Amino acid sequence: MSIVPTTAEPRKKRRGASSRTWMVLRFLFIAAITFLGLIAVTFFIGRVMPIDPVLAIVGDRAPASVVEAARKQYGFDLPIWQQFFLYTKKVLSGDFGTSVLSTYPVMEDIRRVFPATLELATVGTLIGLAFGIPLGVLAAVKRGSLVDQAVRVIGLIGYSMPVFWLGLLGLLVFYARLGWVEGPGRIGVAYEYTFTPITGLFLLDAVIQGDWGAFRDIFGHIILPASLLGYFSLAYISRMTRSFMLNELSQEYIVAARAKGLSETRIIWGHALRNAAVPLVTVIALSYATLLEGSVLTETVFSWPGIGQYITNSLLNADMNAVLGGTIVIGSVFIAINLLSDLLYRMLDPRTRAR
């Protein structure tokens, strides 16, 4: 009796490798198209704004000859399609022009301010995860109870309350009255000129240097604005976790697990939450991206020197290079996180890989 080797297994492996390659190529194509769309939107916004970028550079009182020379120098006298081509070329090379407000290249300014926003959004997301997921699971398990209603009300308040109002209230109560946290800003005056940033993430830099006094001061400054952002993240994450858990708890495998005599704790945390974690990845990623691009009011209230405050100050001073450059960076981060979450979702869920 002879055994004939089958080619089904190698064929299946080739098909799987081809599917993964196609998924990555599709991911890169979508990212490129979306990024070009973002560049186009920012370019035309810059052209329709009632602000002459040339006058913003040379000043309102500059002679007409200087204005005309600057217009030619920066290419504003060219046809619109040529301006868009040059703008795209510069953006792709990382050149967003020079900031009128700071007189530095916009990319250099963004490298300086973006770590502050990144650190604030990261701590806020961690706070939202630490409380949002347990509350969402608890609300799903206790569906219809007072606990469920309380969690839903907490989430509703998080969606409804104005950011600036909560921020000012938090400063009044926890800083001015109780003194539990530090005031506005990112670091205290006592450490501002002695602390040496390494990565731009001050908490991480303090740990690397072993400067625990600076760490406590930095933590005292970040905990209130991060908790505020974490509360809004909690509201979204808890609601979505509850929805995903309710769907999982109604599945047949949960009934089968209970019939086998598994403990309720193992069923909820070991089976239902593990399956709900797959779509929850996208929710967490979108929440994180939202905090990165939507923390303008929080940074303004707490005088946090991040990219949100940088864009706001630039807009108030008609510094369009800085405004558009910051917008592109934030939009690019949002696109990258969104597409990465979609890629992770497809990798974690075999049902989507089969499509």
Total structural domains within the chain: 2
Residue 256 has pLDDT above 80, yes or no: yes
* 352 is a domain residue: no
pLDDT (average), residues 57-64: 68
Same domain, 245 and 313: yes
> Looking at the domain assignment, is residue 334 inside a domain?
no
Q: Please report the sign of the dihedral spanned by the C-alpha atoms of residue 261, residue 264, residue 267, residue 270.
A: negative
Query: Do 127 and 87 lie in a common domain?
Result: no
Asked if residue 77 and residue 18 are part of one domain, the reply reads: yes
The verdict on 29 and 139 lying in the same domain is no
Residue with tokens 């993430």: 201
Residues 68 and 136 in one domain: no
> Are residues 123 and 24 part of one domain?
no
Residues 150 and 273 in one domain: yes
In a domain, 338, yes or no: no
Are the C-beta atoms of residues 51 and 320 closer than 8 Å to each other?
yes
Amino acid identity of residue 102, one-letter, is S
Q: Is residue 326 part of a domain?
A: no
Number of Cβ within 10 Å of residue 212's Cβ equals: 10
**Tens digits of residue pLDDT in 199-235:** 889 999 999 998 899 999 999 999 999 999 999 889 8
Report if pTM > 0.85.
no
Q: Establish if 325 belongs to a structural domain.
A: no
What would the pLDDT profile of 294-308 be if each residue is shown by its tens digit?
677 888 888 888 888
What is the structure's pLDDT at 58?
65
pLDDT in tens, 155-198: 888 777 887 888 889 889 999 888 888 888 888 888 888 888 88
Radius of gyration (Cα) for the chain, nearest Å? 26
pLDDT at 1: 46
CATH classification at residue 237: 1.10.3720.10
The answer, yes or no, to whether residue 41 has pLDDT greater than 70, is yes
pLDDT band at 131 (very low <50, low <70, confident <90, very high): very high
Q: What percent of the chain has pLDDT over 70?
A: 84
Domain that holds residue 275: 113-317
How far is the C-alpha of 64 from the C-alpha of 277, rounded, in Å? 62
Assign 3-state DSSP to the chain and report helix, strand, coil percentages, each to 5. Answer: 75, 0, 25
pLDDT band at 124 (very low <50, low <70, confident <90, very high): very high
The pLDDT of residue 20 is 66
